[in-house]
Amino acid sequence: MLLNTLLLALREIRRNLLRSFLTILGIVIGVSAVITMVTLGNGATLAVQQQIAALGTNLLMIMPGQRLGPGRSSAGAPTFKEADVEAIRQQIGGVHVVAPQLMSSVTLVASGRNWSSTINGTSNEYFISNNWKLVFGRQFEEAEERAGSAVCVIGETVRRELFGAASAVDVLGQPLRVRNFSCEIIGVLLSKGQSGMGSDQDNMVVMPLRTVQRRVSGSQRVDVLLVSLQDGSDSERVKASLTHLMRERRKLSDTDEDNFNILDTRQFADAMAGTTQVMTMLLGAVAGVSLLVGGIGIMNIMLVSVTERTREIGIRLAIGALEREVLLQFLIEAVALAALGGLIGIALATLASLALSAVMQVPYVFDAGINVLSFVFSAAIGVVFGYFPARRAARLDPIEALRHE
Partner 1 sequence: MSGTPGEAVPLIRLRGLTKVYGQGQAAFQALRGVDLDIEAGEFVAIMGPSGSGKSTVMNTLGCLDTPTGGEYLFHGLHVERLGRDQRALLRRRYLGFVFQGFNLLARTSAQENVELPLLYRGEPAAARHRAARAALASVGLAGWEHHTPAELSGGQQQRVAIARAIVTAPEVLLADEPTGNLDTQRSHEIMELLWRLNDERGITVLMVTHEPDMARYARRIVHFVDGRIDSDTRNPEPAALADHAAEAR
The dihedral formed by the CA atoms of 13, 16, 19 and 20, expressed in degrees to the nearest 10: 10
304 is a site residue for partner 1 (CB under 8 A): no
- Judged by CB, which is closer to partner 1: 249, or 311? 311
Residue (318 or 376) nearer to partner 1, CB: 318
Under the binding rule (CB under 8 A), the answer on residue 310 touching partner 1 is no
**Which residue, among 369, 341, 354, has the nearest Cα to 30 in the 3D structure?**
341
For residue 282, state whether it binds partner 1 (rule: CB under 8 A).
no
**Residue 10 in the binding site for partner 1 (CB under 8 A):** no
- CB nearer to partner 1: pick between 301 and 394: 394
When asked if residue 4 is in the footprint of partner 1 (CB under 8 A), the reply is: yes
Q: Which of 209, 134, 155, 149 is nearest to 183 (CA)?
A: 149
Q: Which stretch binds partner 1 (CB under 8 A): 72-80, 246-254, 319-327, 333-341?
A: 319-327
- Exposure string for 56-82, b = 16+ CB within 10 A, e = fewer: bbbbbbbbbbbeeeeeeeeeebebbee
Least Å distance, CB 3 to partner 1, is 10
Tell which one of 18, 319, 359, 368 touches partner 1 (CB under 8 A). 319
Name which of 15 and 133 has its Cβ closer to partner 1.
Answer: 15
Q: Are 374 and 31 in contact (CB under 8 A)?
A: yes
Interface residue with partner 1 among 82, 184, 325, 367 (CB under 8 A) is: 325
- DSSP notation for 58-115: TEEEEEESPPS-TT---TT---B-HHHHHHHHHH-TTEEEEEEEEEEEEEEEETTEEE
Binding range to partner 1, per CB under 8 A, among 78-86, 181-189, 321-329, 385-393: 321-329
DSSP sequence for 254-286? TTSPPSEEEEEHHHHHHHHHHHHHHHHHHHHHH
Residue pair 180/240 in contact (Cβ under 8 Å)? The answer is no
Cβ 22 to partner 1 shortest distance, Å? 18
Asked if 234 is part of the footprint of partner 1 (rule: CB under 8 A), the reply reads no
Q: Residue length, the chain?
A: 405
Stretch that binds partner 1, among 159-167, 231-239, 277-285, 397-405 (CB under 8 A): 397-405
Q: Would you count residue 8 as binding partner 1 (CB under 8 A)?
A: yes
Residue 368 class from Cβ within 10 Å (0-12 exposed, 13-18 middle, 19+ buried)? exposed
Any contact of residue 193 with partner 1 (CB under 8 A)? no
Residue of the chain from 19, 250, 311, 391 that contacts partner 1 (CB under 8 A): 311
Position 6 contacts partner 1 (CB under 8 A):
no
In terms of C-beta density within 10 A (0-12 exposed, 13-18 middle, 19 or more buried), how is residue 180 classed?
Answer: exposed
Question: Does residue 317 interact with partner 1 by CB under 8 A?
Answer: yes
- To the nearest whole angstrom, how small is the minimum distance from the Cβ of residue 15 to partner 1? 6
Give the footprint of partner 1 on this chain (CB under 8 A).
Answer: 1, 4, 8, 15, 311-312, 314-325, 398-399, 402
